Structure 1
Amino acid sequence: MRVLWLVKGLGPGGAEQLLLLAAGVVDRESFDYRVAYLRADKTHLVPELEAAGLTPERLGARTTRPGGWVADLAKAMGEVDVVHAHSPVLASTARLLARAIPRSRRPVVVTTEHNEWTSHRRPTRLLNAATAPLDTHHWAVSEQVRDTIWPSRRDGFEVLIHGIDPDVVRPREDARSTLRAELGAGDDDVVSLTVANLRRNKDYPTLLRAARIALDREPQLRFAAVGQGPLVDEVTDLHASLGLGERFRLLGFRRDVHDLMAAADVFTLASAHEGLPVAVMEAFASGLPVVATTVGGLPHQVEDGVHGLLVPPGDPKALADALTTLAGDADLRRRMGEAARERSTAYDIRRAVAEQERVYAVLSPRARR
């Protein structure tokens, strides 16, 4: 059975990471997978997908015509049984293109909503809402994401918690000592790690301002952030204006995130909008307590006071309070870290992949024939 995964880009974002994780556990005997993407500037995970046995195709790579990628997508769709879209713009396009393919060869279109509808631009929301009824099946990555879908379009959306591959979240044996030395952290320092691209929804201004407040209170705190994106200049300028210096390291894109998690003591997210971040699941598996905002799927996964501390979005002082509380209490960090690691057993990408493949098999034209 031939399946085409569609994603906007292959940068280091959450949806892309989920595809990479899924690629490592799919049923290769029953399914033939292809991956297509659009953004020429988002190719970070291409080598990893190739190593997993998939060769991603960039739509529009052979043409300079505006919208030329649509012809590539139409051709690719005519060669598969199932199209699974992970981006609202690509999903909307695929839904419409499917109607132009003769019914005898038409693939089914299924989609996954990874982000709250309120985080999309208005034209994207309108196009997504107008075409969503053309799906054969659709998922949302959390209850909170599903709840942001317009009520008139919400019926039929199934919540499917994705996850991680526990076998992958394993750092090098010397990762903690080596990476802490790189970060300039001593044995008594408390390292807060953030893994989030430099985009509006991740709210780096609140994170940086909270870090400034926390550092003034707690000299043993250190911060590190992994991520790249369109706001790099804005974030760098704010970092400089706040005088954070070497105590808050902006690391850019890194391939050794799991090693960095082993070097950290706390995982922090200041997001204004979220779906269900892969990075939080990986932090749980690494035994890190989580300080995060009460957005998206986070409150249903991070129990406040058990796996970490939750704060309102856009509140630097509340975020700083939570960080200094954990920085000053090693026993609390240990208890929450143990609870987080135990919670991580609920996240296994194999469950989500098995459910997706079950749906592919039931719905595809090949199965019907």
Structure 2
Amino acid sequence: MSPRRTRVLWLAKGLGRGGAEQLLVNCARHADTSRYEIEIAYVLPWKDALAPALAEAGLRVHCLGGAPGTPGRADPRWPWRLHRLLAERRYGLVHTHMPVPAAAVRLLAFGRHAPRLVHTEHNVWDRYRTATRWANALTYRRNDAVIAVSHAVGASVPPGRRRPGDWLSVVHHGPDLAGAPTGPRARADARAALGLPADAVVIGTVGNLTPKKDQATLLTAYAALRREHPRARLVLIGAGPLDGQLRARAAELGLDDVVFAGSRPDVPALLAGLDVFTLSSRQEGLPVALMEAMTSGLPSVVTRVGGMPEVLDDGEQGYLVPPADPGALGEALGRLVADPALRGRLGAAARTRSASFDVAGAQSAVEAVYQRVLRPRR
């Protein structure tokens, strides 16, 4: 007789196109469905772009903040809906992925039949807002286990908020690029989709247009680089609240050739059209976009923040630069733009390094945490 499956709820703030959300899709495709019946709930109804992919992967999807696709603010009754969902579905385990809904479920999941609580930490603690830090401080030790996406993220959890033993694990996740097009035709198609010249040296970045991604520093770096390398082009893939400000900044700098591609469902295919990948972030956990770029064989210039130095060695698969330093960022990008042989060597090394990115293995490691916390309590 096969063992009874444990019903698991993954709880997120939203299911828009972002690294943490894409990680959920990747993991869902590799989950052990013979052991776990996984459902997912989210709070922000307008951030639902990845909900169909999760449903296609076999997850039952619950929107707590209102009707899916509804613009504006989430219905403030979402904690009550979460409480009702926990009571109705009787989950054996809740795996949270963002701090606000995580704090809510820690306060709601009490009693003899309360589910085990596992939390994935996607960001370093000192970058959270004050209210979030307080919510974490009051509830964090209720987690039965914590998974950090990088060693830098794990080290940022204050000692006073930890529990002893193997309570905190580090799991490096990975991208899932199965089926992504490659080769000269894929490159030509990607450039056509982005409106890029065939002979341009293309620098690309992927990320929501938010302060923590700091695309403003990238625009400043590109403006200086463009004067020396007129064949260079810059592509920003992503959407967010700073879209208008960044477009205005590009205009101020005289950059009429920057491609603002918006939020795209076909990022793996578009990577084939790039020559160099970059992230100018002020903070990160461990970005899926960087691992996708490395898997695609792109050399990268990224800031030395969060877990990025854990997967990219300076001078080996690309370059690490300080955050908020357009001079250093532009100089490193310029080196790669000017030297095709260097791009080829570092890109090949990035592809080799990416063999250690194992999304299936990461999901197995997560499920090993599930097995540990689901053991009967003494």
TM-score, scaled to structure 1:
0.94
Please give the alpha-carbon distance, in whole angstroms, between the structure 1 residues aligned to 2:364 and 2:25. 15
Cα deviations by residue, 1:9-43 (Å, 9 ceiling, x for unpaired) = 00111110100001111111111010000012211
Q: 1:106 aligns with which of 114, 119, 128?
A: 114
User: Residue 265 of structure 1 aligns to which amino acid in structure 2?
Assistant: D
Question: What aligned pairs does 1:56-135 form with structure 2 within 5 A after superposition?
Answer: 56-61=61-66, 67-78=76-87, 79-99=90-110, 102-103=111-112, 105-135=113-143
Report what 2:220 is aligned to. Answer: 209
Aligned to 2:337: 327
- Partner residue of 2:200 out of 189, 207, 228: 189
Deviations 1:251-309 (A, max 9, x none): 00111111111110110100000000000110011000010011111112110100001
Q: Which amino acid aligns with 1:132?
A: Y
Q: Give the distance between the partners of 1:168 and 1:212, measured in 2 at CA.
A: 35
Q: Which stretch shows the higher mean deviation, 60-69 or 1-10?
A: 60-69
Note if contact 1:169-1:282 (Cα within 8 Å) is conserved in structure 2. no
Report the AA paired with residue 358 of structure 1: A
RMSD: 2.0
Match of 2:171 among 160, 181, 197: 160
Aligned equivalents of 2:253, 2:201: Cα separation in 1: 20
Q: Of 356, 360, 366, which aligns to 1:356?
A: 366
The count of aligned residue pairs is: 364
Structure 2: where are the runs of 5+ without partners?
1-5
TM-fit CA distance, 1:70: 0.9
CA distance in 1, matches of 2:319, 2:366: 33
* 8 Å CA contact retained: 2:45, 2:65: no
Deviation sequence 1:134-153 (CA, Å, 0-9, x none)? 01011111111122222322
Comparing 187-196 and 338-347, the one that deviates more: 187-196
Match of 1:16 in 2: 21
- 1:65-103 CA distance string (max 9 Å, x none): 96311121112223210000000111111111112xx31
Q: TM-score, normalised by structure 2?
A: 0.92
Quote how far apart the aligned CAs of 1:242 are: 1.4
Gaps of 5+ in 1: none
Tell whether 2:350 aligns with 1:340. Answer: yes
Give the Cα separation in 1 of the matches to 2:195 and 2:244. 24
1:219 counterpart (230, 246, 249)? 230
Q: 1:120 to 1:171 in 2, by over 3 A?
A: farther
Question: Residues 173 and 23 (structure 1 numbering): CA distance in 2 closer, same or farther, change over 3 Å?
Answer: farther
User: What SS does the corresponding residue of 1:76 show, helix, strand or coil?
Assistant: helix
Counterpart amino acid of residue 133 in structure 2: R
Spell out structure 1 runs of 4+ moving beyond 6 A: 62-65
Q: Structure 1 CA distance, aligned partners of 2:74 and 2:45?
A: 14
SS in structure 2 of the partner of residue 56 of structure 1: strand
Q: Is the 8 A contact 1:166 1:348 kept in 2?
A: no
Paired position in structure 1 for 2:288: 278
User: Comparing 62-71 with 152-161, which one deviates more in the overlay?
Assistant: 62-71
- 1:250 equivalent to 2:260? Answer yes
2:3 alignment counterpart = none
Q: Which residue of 1 aligns with 2:279?
A: 269
1:176 aligns with 2:209: no
Q: Cα–Cα, structure 1 residues 352 and 122, in superposed 2: closer, same or farther, change >3 Å?
A: same
Q: What code does the residue aligned with 2:134 have?
A: L
Offset at residue 173 of structure 1 (A)? 7.0
Report sequence identity in percent: 43
Distance 2:57 2:40 in 1: 12
**Distance across 2 between alignment mates of 1:20 and 1:171:** 22
Distance, in Å, in 1 between the alignment partners of 2:181 and 2:142 is 41
Aligned-partner Cα distance in 1 for 2:154–2:228: 39
- Paired residue for 2:319? 309
* Offset at residue 317 of structure 1 (A): 1.1
Residue 239, structure 1, aligned to residue 244, structure 2: no
- Tell me the distance in 1 between the aligned counterparts of 2:186 and 2:61: 31
Contact 2:174 2:362 in 1 (8 A): yes
Instruction: Tell me if structure 1 keeps the 8 A contact 2:45–2:74.
Output: no
